[in-house]
Chain A
């Protein structure tokens, strides 16, 4: 299945769930000092960053080539 066939709604759903997970991870990351539990803090922070990067890549690929007006589709 080509990613270019994804509907806008799927991207919205993806970002919504991703946003919830990132919010939870960041809340966990901000709630206590890093030295208390460095492993959990690292995983929380890196996890939130990786999820945002992954969502950005997916969105970028989906939008790739669609930033110009469609040509003649007869």
Chain B
């Protein structure tokens, strides 16, 4: 019952805190600094997609946060997992989504040149993540389109890599959801995937632009355009 535990008591206002024996940092202020200490890696969970802080996405967000906590616990004390909040609040707050510091995450997404709409992202870097000069050696994983099973698989694999090797292997760059610059996908494969994704988006977009109305007198059915597309 992680959601029943208040994390506010463990955090300092305007600062970051580590749960004892765990490698997680939940920053609760826009100016709170990411702990530097002697960590070997930093794993940033960036929720910069505004769609993810809507009530419709609250279940997905809660699931992602649970994954973050488990991930942070499992990667060991030498590796830090980071999550951005706006303020101190109980994690079982029904308006948990509103407490996510999207603006802080967006700064990092901007520095990484990543579209917020494709987020949330998980960024793993072996150098201190300074938003003004983000390390070029990093692996970026798009979590937005991942099914829960794929998300779990990805985080499990990353946990193995970080705990046992203290870094993310180049092979991980080819993992589903990864967009690391060091990707081992062939250019043709990458092009094909982009074509497929473009086709998919076009079909979805076409479906959303069509407004279909059926009026039988007794019954009226209407398909409206997709919201949030």
Q: Does A34 contact B (CB under 8 A)?
A: yes
Is there contact, CB below 8 Å, between A35 and B203?
Answer: no
Q: How many residues of A contact B (CB 8 A)?
A: 13
Known: A38-B189, A38-B192, A42-B192. A33 touches B204 (CB 8 A): no
Residues of B within 8 A of A38 (CB): 189, 192-193, 196
Min CB distance A42 to B, Å, is: 6
Known: A26-B203, A30-B203, A30-B204. A36 touches B196 (CB 8 A): no
A37 to B193, CA, bound (A): 9
Residues of B within 8 A of A32 (CB): 145-147
Q: Does B129 contact A (CB under 8 A)?
A: no
Min CB distance A43 to B, Å, is: 11
Known: A42-B196, A45-B196. A35 touches B204 (CB 8 A): no
Is there contact, CB below 8 Å, between B197 and A33?
Answer: yes
Is there contact, CB below 8 Å, between A33 and B192?
Answer: no
Is there contact, CB below 8 Å, between B145 and A36?
Answer: yes
Is there contact, CB below 8 Å, between A37 and B176?
Answer: yes
Would you list which residues of chain A between 22 and 74 have a CB under 8 Å from chain B? 26, 29-30, 32-38, 41-42, 45
Is there contact, CB below 8 Å, between B147 and A36?
Answer: yes
Residues of B within 8 A of A29 (CB): 200
Is there contact, CB below 8 Å, between A33 and B189?
Answer: no
Is there contact, CB below 8 Å, between B145 and A33?
Answer: yes
Is there contact, CB below 8 Å, between A30 and B200?
Answer: yes
Among B144, B197, B200, B203, the most chain A Cβ lie within 10 Å of the Cβ of: B200
A37 to B146, CA, bound (A): 10
Is there contact, CB below 8 Å, between B189 and A35?
Answer: no
Which A residues form the contact surface with B (CB < 8 A)?
Answer: 26, 29-30, 32-38, 41-42, 45
Which B residues form the contact surface with A (CB < 8 A)?
Answer: 142, 144-147, 150, 176-177, 179, 189, 192-194, 196-197, 199-200, 203-204
- Given A38-B193, A42-B192, A45-B199; 17 other pairs, CB 8 A cutoff: A29-B200, A30-B200, A30-B203, A32-B145, A32-B147, A33-B197, A34-B194, A34-B196, A35-B145, A35-B177, A35-B197, A36-B145, A36-B150, A36-B176, A36-B177, A37-B176, A38-B192
What are 22 residue pairs bridging A and B, where the CB atoms are less than 8 Å apart in the complex? A32-B146, A33-B144, A33-B145, A33-B200, A34-B200, A35-B142, A35-B176, A35-B197, A36-B145, A36-B146, A36-B150, A36-B176, A36-B177, A37-B150, A37-B176, A38-B189, A38-B192, A41-B193, A41-B196, A42-B192, A42-B196, A45-B196
